[in-house]
Amino acid sequence: SLKANIGKYEFNNVMLNAAGIRCATTDELTKVLNSEAGGCVTKSATPEPREGNESPRMKATPLGCINSMGLPNHGLDYYLKFAEENQGKDGKQVLLSIAGLTVDQNLEMLHKIQESSFNGLVELNLSCPNIKGESQIAYDFEAVRDILTKTFKFFTKDLGIKLPPYFDLHQFDQIADVLNDFPIAYVNSINSIGNGLIVNPETESVVIKPKGGFGGLGGDYVKPTALANVRALRLRLKPEIAIIGTGGIKSGRDVFEHVLCGANVVQIGTAFGFEDVKIFSRISKELSEIMAEKGYSSLDDFRGKLKTL
| 127 part of the active site | yes
Cβ–Cβ < 8 Å for 215, 196: yes
Per-state percent for the chain, helix, strand, coil, to nearest 5: 35, 20, 40
Binding string to ligand DHB for residues 277 to 306, with x set by CB under 6 A, is what?
A: ------------------------------
Q: What is the dihedral of CA 152, 150, 97, 10, to 10 degrees?
A: -10
Catalytic pick among 128, 189, 192, 284: 128
Minimum Å gap between C-beta 3 and ligand DHB is 27
Best CA proximity match to 216, nearest among 277, 125, 147, 278:
125
Residues 201-230 that bind ligand DHB (CB under 6 A): 216
Quote the DSSP letter at residue 300.
G
CB of 42 or CB of 192, closer to ligand DHB: 192
Binding string to ligand DHB for residues 240 to 279, with x set by CB under 6 A, is what?
A: ----------------------------------------
Catalytic pick among 68, 127, 189, 192: 127
Interface region with ligand DHB, contact rule CB under 6 A, candidates 128-136, 222-230, 256-264, 273-281: 128-136
Environment class of 231 (CB within 10 Å of its CB; exposed 0-12, middle 13-18, buried 19+): buried
Binding string to ligand DHB for residues 142 to 171, with x set by CB under 6 A, is what?
A: ------------------------------
Cβ atoms within 10 Å of 133's Cβ, excluding its own = 6
| 189 part of the active site | no
CB of 245 or CB of 252, closer to ligand DHB: 245
Cβ atoms within 10 Å of 155's Cβ, excluding its own = 18
Q: Decide: is 100 part of the binding site for ligand DHB (CB under 6 A).
A: no
CB of 10 or CB of 220, closer to ligand DHB: 220
Quote the DSSP letter at residue 38.
S
Residues 56-85 that bind ligand DHB (CB under 6 A): 68-71
CB of 38 or CB of 194, closer to ligand DHB: 194
Cβ–Cβ < 8 Å for 264, 5: yes
Q: State the maximum Cα–Cα separation within the chain, in Å, rounded to a whole number.
A: 54
Q: Number of residues in contact with ligand DHB, rule: CB under 6 A?
A: 15
Minimum Å gap between C-beta 210 and ligand DHB is 9
Identify the three-state secondary structure at position 84: helix
Whole-Å CA distances, 202 to 65, 73, 205, 211, 213: 18, 34, 8, 21, 16
Q: For binding to ligand DHB (CB under 6 A), which residues are involved? A: 20, 44, 68-71, 99, 125, 127-130, 191-192, 216
Known catalytic residues are 127-128
